[in-house]
Amino acid sequence: MVRAESDAWFEMARDAIRAARRITKSHPRSLVSRAYYSIFAHVHGRLLEAGQSPRGGLGTWSHQALPALVASHLTKPLGLRRAREIRLTLTRMKRLRELADHRPTVRLDGEVAFEALRSVERFVGT
């Protein structure tokens, strides 16, 4: 059951990254949102593989809790460096996604969005 659930999260991550790749620079907010949700889903799959259970009944961890969960539960299986890189990317992407989704007056450049996509692609395969 856990393997099927983690695989489903990994497939969701791959689907989101494929969608992000199809979005052009003319839609940087949408690109950032898809890229963020790709790493969000990837981390869920990793946590399930590490034997963690999401908060009661929701089937997911909160956006705020994920970086700390990466540090506390993924350092051993992934190694300190890889876990730190994922945590930092997740944190940066969360901030950028919040700007993209909730701050319409903040200008979001297409190049910034593509750099964000590239940072997530380091962890999420296709």
pLDDT of residue 41: 97
* DSSP track, 38-75: HHHHHHHHHHHHTT---STTTSS--TTTHHHHHHHHSH
| Ranges of residues in the chain whose predicted pLDDT is under 70 | 1, 126
Is 64 strand, coil or helix? coil
Domain assignments of the chain as residue spans, ordered by start: 2-121
Which CATH code for domain 2-121?
A: 1.20.120.330
Which pTM was predicted?
0.93
> Tens digits of per-residue pLDDT, 85-120?
999 999 999 999 999 999 999 999 889 999 999 999
Give the Cα separation of 43 and 37 in Å (integer): 10
